[in-house]
Amino acid sequence: MISRPTLRLPLSSALAALAAIAVLGTSLGGAAAQERRVPGSPAEVRLSYGPVVQKAAPAVVNVYAARTVTTRNPLFEDPFFRRFFGGPGMPGPNEQQQRSLGSGVLVDPAGLVVTNHHVIDGADQVKVSLADRREFEAEIVLKDARSDLAVLRLKGNGERFQALEFADSDALQVGDLVLAIGNPFAVGQTVTHGIISALARTQVGITDYQFFIQTDAAINPGNSGGALVDMTGKIVGINTAIFSRGGGSIGIGFAIPANMVRVVVASARGGSSTVKRPWHGARLQAVTPEIAESIGLKRPAGALVTDVMQGGPAARAGLRTGDLIVALDDQHIEDANAFDYRFATKAIGGTSRIRVQRSGREMVVTVALEVAPDLPRDEIVIETRSPFQGVKVSNLSPSLADQLRLDPNGEGVVVVDVANGSIGQRFFQPGDVLLTVNNQKMTRTSDLDKLSRQQTRLWRITIRRGGQQMSVELRG
């Protein structure tokens, strides 16, 4: 049975609302409107979100993801134990199945469902359960770790489903009423209500695009991927995370704005397995109080340009190192995260106007909205026994650098994935850039593939991780 809560205001609150109406009437119609009376029927005190829930709830679904994880006793990686116990009777890898539960929202009658990337990440099998308890197998159409969003397609044999429309999340105001719909703690579909507590939260640390709607509508584990809707039943955000000290809601929840979700869904509708976003080719940083004081700002605001890639859209537009970005297409830019979000939601093609402050003067530059150039990535998985075994690497291109938030001017071979339980998992992680191996510069994946086949007991490796360069020595 689907839970469809009816929310009612207490009688005291309803009477207060009626009293407020009476005061308004005084200004319009005289003293007679000041009369107070007991409500004549239950209908006069019943205020409900029921119509909104009835419209939105059928489009909110449960998402079940299953993934197979291979584990092996670490003792059997030791040569000593393999020597004595490495015969035919030696235990093999142990496979376990992990399951996760989240929520999702139907956004297209053809069966497209949007959910969080972290709900289905690594899943071998995905099932979706509708509000009417029907279950469907689903295929993953698109995964976008940068925004923590994914799009699924129900295998419904041409069936048409009830779907929700997107609202303009830029039109939201703090104080607007919203409903959160999902499946918290796997108890079944649940509706909570609250208000928009804050907009443009950029210091949350959840996704690459730090720009979230904050709400006090109760969001709990299992709500991830569910809908945050306005009073017209349209999607204003996808519930993603909570701030909590004990695992439950304390009234601080975060949702990805609908305008970002719309971009991801549009890519999936167009048949792409990745999200195509505009690329500007510049590195930005937040304005600290110290920087603001040094350049004469009354308060720290805007995005400071620290580097511009030669030949990129920003360079061609005339953007320079030291420019302070204060607006994008007449939308105020509070910090670098806000600019990244605003720019990422622009459609490919055409141009955008960036207002900057340069040497005390304000000026506008026009930047082209185009995708980052890509080069042949030549992705390979290193299979030979070495510190790199199980590591998947790719040539570094401006497109991949933008995707992984790496230096657009950087060089090297980048780690894009590491096999679970592999030797490489001990030393490397996705996003690591391999610069040199045994004093040989890494420019292409074939360089690493060739070196990994060498029989050597000592590996000297230089990598860049999180913007920091480090050198390590590993003995085989």
Q: 462 forms bridges with which residues in the sheet?
A: 436, 471
pLDDT at 460 over 70: yes
Q: Which contacts of 215-218 are long-range, i.e. CB under 8 A and separated by 24 or more positions?
A: 215/178, 215/180, 215/253, 215/254, 215/255, 216/251, 216/252, 216/253, 217/178, 217/179, 217/180, 217/192, 217/193, 217/253, 218/180, 218/184, 218/192, 218/194, 218/249, 218/251, 218/253
Quick check: 119 and 63 in contact, CB under 8 A?
yes
Distances (CA, A) of 142 to 54, 271, 404, 427, 465: 29, 9, 17, 29, 27
CB atoms within 10 A of CB 179: 24
CB atoms within 10 A of CB 245: 6
pLDDT reported for residue 88: 53
pLDDT tens, residue by residue, 23-61: 334 344 444 444 667 777 777 667 788 999 999 999 999
- Lookup: tokens for 288: 């600290």
Confidence of residue 145 (pLDDT cuts 50, 70, 90): confident
Reply yes or no on whether 148 is catalytic: yes
The whole-chain average pLDDT of the chain stands at 83
pLDDT reported for residue 251: 81
Q: CA-CA distance, 148 to 262, in Å (whole number)?
A: 13
pLDDT at 69 over 70: no
pLDDT tens, residue by residue, 329-352: 989 999 898 998 899 999 888 999
Which one of the listed residues 169, 224, 249, 399 is annotated catalytic? 224
Confidence of residue 158 (pLDDT cuts 50, 70, 90): confident
Beta strands in 158-312 (DSSP E): 177-182, 190-201, 212-215, 227-229, 235-242, 253-257, 282-286, 303-308
Confidence of residue 360 (pLDDT cuts 50, 70, 90): confident
pLDDT at 301 over 70: yes
Distances (CA, A) of 148 to 33, 82, 387: 54, 41, 30
pLDDT reported for residue 7: 36
Q: Average the pLDDT over 364-368 and give the result.
A: 95
Q: Which CATH class is domain 58-276?
A: mainly beta
Every domain of the chain with CATH number 2.30.42.10 lies at 282-368, 380-475
Q: CA-CA distance, 397 to 416, in Å (whole number)?
A: 12
Considering the domain 380-475, what is its CATH architecture? Roll (2.30)
Residues in the chain: 476
Confidence of residue 408 (pLDDT cuts 50, 70, 90): low
Handedness of CA 113, 114, 120, 121 (dihedral sign): positive
Q: Average the pLDDT over 60-80 and give the result.
A: 69
Beta strands in 133-277 (DSSP E): 135-144, 149-154, 177-182, 190-201, 212-215, 227-229, 235-242, 253-257
Q: Which runs of consecutive H residues, i.e. helices, occur in 202-257?
A: none
Q: Does domain 282-368 have CATH number 2.30.42.10?
A: yes
pTM for this predicted structure: 0.74
Every domain of the chain with CATH number 2.40.10.120 lies at 58-276
pLDDT reported for residue 476: 61
Q: Average the pLDDT over 213-231 and give the result.
A: 91
Q: For tokens 């340009």, what's the residue? A: 305
Lowest pLDDT segment from 6-15, 217-226, 320-329, 363-372: 6-15
Please name the residues in contact with 198: beta carbons below 8 A apart, sequence gap of 6 or more.
Answer: 174, 213, 214
pLDDT reported for residue 21: 35
pLDDT reported for residue 87: 54
Chain center to CA of 152: 15
Q: CA-CA distance, 303 to 324, in Å (whole number)?
A: 6
Confidence of residue 4 (pLDDT cuts 50, 70, 90): very low
Confidence of residue 98 (pLDDT cuts 50, 70, 90): low
pLDDT reported for residue 31: 41
Q: CA-CA distance, 285 to 324, in Å (whole number)?
A: 10
Reply yes or no on whether 193 is catalytic: no
Which one of the listed residues 118, 323, 402, 432 is annotated catalytic? 118
Q: 61 forms bridges with which residues in the sheet?
A: 104
What percent of the chain has a predicted confidence (pLDDT) above 70?
82
3-state SS assignment for residue 21: helix
Which one of the listed residues 108, 144, 148, 335 is annotated catalytic? 148
Q: CA-CA distance, 357 to 333, in Å (whole number)?
A: 12
Radius of gyration of the chain (CA): 27
pLDDT at 86 over 60: no
